[in-house]
Amino acid sequence: MRRTPPIIALRLLRTFVHVHYLEELEGDLEEVFQSNTLSKGLRVAQFLYWVHVLRAMRIYPVKRHPSDIMHEIKNLLFLKLAARSIWKRKGTHLINAFGVTAALVSFMLILNFTTYEQSFDEFHEHADRIARIGFDWGEVSVDGKNESIYASNVPAMGKLLVAGIPEIETQTTFVPVMTIKKSCHVRSPQTGSVFSAEKGLYADDQFLSVFSFPTLLGGGKLLSDPYTVVITSSFARKLFGESAIDGAIGRSVTFVTDKEENYTITAVLDDVPSNSHFTFDYLISYETINSPRLEENIYWSQFYCYVLLRDVSSAASAASKLSGVVTKVYGQDTRVSLFLQSLKDIHLNSNLRGELGTTGSRSTVILLTAVAYVVLLMGWINFTTLFLAIAVERVREVGIKKVLGSTRLHLIIQFLSEAIMVNLLSCLFSVLVFLLASSYVASWLGLPHISAEPYANLAWPLGVFVVIGSLIAGALPACILSSYKPIKAMGKQTLELPLYSQLKQVLPYFQFTVCFAVVASAGIMKRQLAFMQNADIGISTEQTIAIKLPPTNDDTGRLSFEGFRQRMRQSPTVDHVTLSSSIPGSRINTSGGVQKISGDALEGNNVLNIYTDENFVNTFGLKVLAGRNFQSTLSDTLPHVLLNEAAVRVLHFSSNEEAVGQSILWQENQVLVEGVFSNYNHLFLKEALEPMMLTQASMRQQFMCVKFTNVNGPLDDQEILSTVKDAWSKEMPSIALDYDFLDDHYGRQYDSIRREREVVQNFATLSLIICTIGLFSVSAYMIRNRFKEIAIRKVLGATSENVLALFVREKMPLVLISSVAGALIAYFLMLSWLRNFAYTIGIRLLDFSMPMLTLVGIVIVSIGYHVFNALRVQPTNILKNE
């Protein structure tokens, strides 16, 4: 009876012994085993078989020439084969690599940006333990919105919190200089002239121990004595010149606000990193402005309060004790409440009143991250479909390889190594592009330029891309192809495998849908932006320059200012000069409720107010609809006001005329309505038109607007600027001129929307490029498989147009279905985007026709090229082969 040798030993033998020796060895051992079984019994034979196998393994795998080993390694990686195969299709692979590179570079750039946005305030040593205490007045307007939630707090709160909540270790209170002062300038110790220095804080002595802003020079107990200041190194350079920073400690610096004061510099700090949610040039000790009255103030909610918790986990228990402190201060039934925000969440998650700087937006970060991954996915899909397309061509190669003894593993390794090579190539390209042109590409994509750690996140997306990308792109065709039986593979020109052809069909749908959605969204955004920029805002901002006025603390200052105003008024090219507390395009800060003197209390009666003079209406081209403009002499009894039409409606007057001459209450003070002026959009059209009033005031305001004449055609900016500079330097030579053209200023409101549109627009271009490349390279193979068909059609009398139409028609279901899907996506996305705007365009059917035409265009271009190439070949040359 035949016995089988130990199966495990046999496996071992087959695994480790080189295939060249395996057959004879296996046979010999089997023969010995069989004879041993007869002569010595099964057990002994099995034991001896094991011994022989182990000894054989010692001999054969190592007994090879060194050159053989190298050959094996080369074969194993299939590098040579892969390189040859890639080189054979270099054009296709190059185009494909370009698409992948574009996807990869955008992916890295976007990721770089989002990581930067998420890194805000992480540099603080105690970042996890720092929290901001915000303040909510709890005033809900008629439409249910609470706009009284402040990022800031009241001056007294910090100390009350430390006393009332044991989880809080310490607190720091600070306030921007511009909250306390109307303006702030610094006298340069070098030239004696003053320049604007508004980025400063009054900060208490705990500020630098709570936050981590490293000191370069100086030290000790900082910011505890009044009239001491800590400055950043770039501010120090601005003050003392490049080289003289070392001597800055102990020197004094003159701040010009409503008065001139000298401060002693006690330390120089590193510049504030760009990824901090607030920024400053200097810190003045809080003691300078502190007073017992201020310390007890519980109403002025424009101070900032940051607390340092005892440990990270105590945030929740500290937050729960906030209401206890509130009731102690404001009584039981107050609407006021406090809330706690973790420091690291502020930049992306907080958008309250009185934020310390422009905050980022979590939704933008999420959107961009989604964009990054979609782009990457599109790149991968291109890659995979192309490899699938190429694979079709290689069926016969696979068949022959299998006949010659390639195993399935060999084939998979071969296809994988090809994919890895192309991927590595694309990675190399994209690293080059990233290094050479990252700032250019970033600005093209509409991302802000990031100076901090630009390459920090380069490595891992690349690694992930190579690994996952190659696996997906290479493994799919590899597994599908290698499963083919040689006899089948060799018999057919193309192969049709259910999974394969389904995949080939489905993948482009995703790309086309994305393309459609993005192109449609970009179109709608463009139309909305154009609509807002071209709409009649009821005001003219052309030929107007807005000048920020400096402080005047003495009579000479006042005189020189009056001189400047006179010069501007008398200039032949100037039409109007007005002073105002706010200019169009900037938020109005003063507001209050209005009431009729007699009558019921009104709800939702908030009216914005600008202090200005009789020239405001003319300067901005507003119309007085009823009553009259301010008179040039100021009334000494009641303040005179002009209302806009919206404010008239708030007050429930039946007509504009009825309001004229009435006395009303504003912030509980009586004012006289002198006239009604036409509505205009003080802010851009994202914001609703607000009820407004103008109050005639004699005091100097923060802004002067000068309207230049348009009689002899528009003046150019340079002419306007030189007129202003001339007059300024004659009257106030020691003060820097701070100006802005009003139309620029107004237009700057559109910046963020324009940037959003740019991102989407560029994403659209990018996805179109990737899509075109994908279809282009895939259809090359599709058409090659149908050369014969084309030739026969041509012989039978089809024209080029017929053939092209045939192929384009085949792609029409793709275009139509993706268009419908893309249109749905774009519709809902844009609907939610437009909801942010007070004035919007509607989404029209026409918005979706352009993207559809674009898709058809892509199909025609990418297929047409190959079709015409195929048509150019003589049919006889194709058909004679059979």
Partner 1 sequence: MRTHVGEFEELVLLTTGILHPEGYAVNIGAEIESQTGRSITISAVHTALHRLEEKGYLESYFGEATEIRGGKRKRLFKITHAGVQVLREVRELRNGLWQQLPKAILKGI
User: Which residues here bind partner 1, judged by CB under 8 A?
Assistant: 23-32, 34, 51-52, 55-56, 58-60, 63
- Reduced to 3 states (helix: H, G, I; strand: E, B; else coil), residue 405 is coil
Residue 22 Cβ vs partner 1, minimum distance, rounded to whole Å: 9
Q: By C-beta, is 59 or 795 nearer to partner 1? A: 59
Residue 2 Cβ vs partner 1, minimum distance, rounded to whole Å: 8
Q: By C-beta, is 10 or 127 nearer to partner 1? A: 10
| Nearest of 586, 589, 646, 641 to residue 616 by alpha carbon | 641
Residue 25 Cβ vs partner 1, minimum distance, rounded to whole Å: 7
DSSP annotation of 690 reads -
Q: By C-beta, is 63 or 71 nearer to partner 1? A: 63
Q: By C-beta, is 25 or 427 nearer to partner 1? A: 25
Q: By C-beta, is 34 or 800 nearer to partner 1? A: 34
- Reduced to 3 states (helix: H, G, I; strand: E, B; else coil), residue 156 is coil
Residue 69 Cβ vs partner 1, minimum distance, rounded to whole Å: 16
Query: Is residue 334 within 8 Å of 192, Cβ to Cβ?
Result: no
Residue 21 Cβ vs partner 1, minimum distance, rounded to whole Å: 8
Q: By C-beta, is 31 or 270 nearer to partner 1? A: 31
Residue 30 Cβ vs partner 1, minimum distance, rounded to whole Å: 4
Burial class (CB in 10 A: 0-12, 13-18, 19+), 486: middle
| Nearest of 84, 118, 91, 204 to residue 156 by alpha carbon | 204
Distances (CA, A) of 227 to 222, 282, 421, 503, 876: 11, 12, 66, 73, 96
Residue 54 Cβ vs partner 1, minimum distance, rounded to whole Å: 9
Q: Which amino acid is at 647?
A: A
* Sign of the torsion formed by the C-alpha atoms of 743, 732, 581 and 676: negative
- Start-to-end CA span in the chain (Å): 58
Residue 46 Cβ vs partner 1, minimum distance, rounded to whole Å: 15
Residue 386 Cβ vs partner 1, minimum distance, rounded to whole Å: 45
Name the one residue in this structure whose structure tokens are 């365009």: 841
Residue 3 Cβ vs partner 1, minimum distance, rounded to whole Å: 11
Q: By C-beta, is 46 or 341 nearer to partner 1? A: 46
Burial class (CB in 10 A: 0-12, 13-18, 19+), 88: exposed
**Residue 413: enclosing H or E segment and its boundaries?**
helix 408-445
In angstroms, the CA 623 to CA 676 distance is 9
DSSP annotation of 245 reads G
In angstroms, the CA 506 to CA 384 distance is 12
Q: By C-beta, is 29 or 823 nearer to partner 1? A: 29
Beta-bridge partners for 265: 229
Q: Which amino acid is at 827?
A: Y
In angstroms, the CA 250 to CA 72 distance is 75
How far from chain centre, in Å, is Cα 627?
A: 49
Q: By C-beta, is 60 or 750 nearer to partner 1? A: 60
Q: By C-beta, is 54 or 459 nearer to partner 1? A: 54
Q: By C-beta, is 13 or 194 nearer to partner 1? A: 13
Residue 31 Cβ vs partner 1, minimum distance, rounded to whole Å: 5
Q: Is 241 left (phi over 0), alpha (psi -120 to 50) or beta?
A: left
Q: Which amino acid is at 572?
A: P
Name the one residue in this structure whose structure tokens are 């017929």: 802
Residue 72 Cβ vs partner 1, minimum distance, rounded to whole Å: 18
Strands (E) in 502-619, as ranges, are 544-548, 574-580, 590-596, 606-612
Residue 67 Cβ vs partner 1, minimum distance, rounded to whole Å: 14
Q: By C-beta, is 60 or 227 nearer to partner 1? A: 60
Residue 404 Cβ vs partner 1, minimum distance, rounded to whole Å: 19
In angstroms, the CA 844 to CA 851 distance is 13
Q: By C-beta, is 29 or 97 nearer to partner 1? A: 29
In angstroms, the CA 691 to CA 678 distance is 11
Distances (CA, A) of 220 to 223, 267, 328: 10, 9, 36
Compute the radius of gyration of the chain from its Cα atoms: 38
Number of Cβ within 10 Å of residue 645's Cβ equals 19
Q: By C-beta, is 5 or 134 nearer to partner 1? A: 5
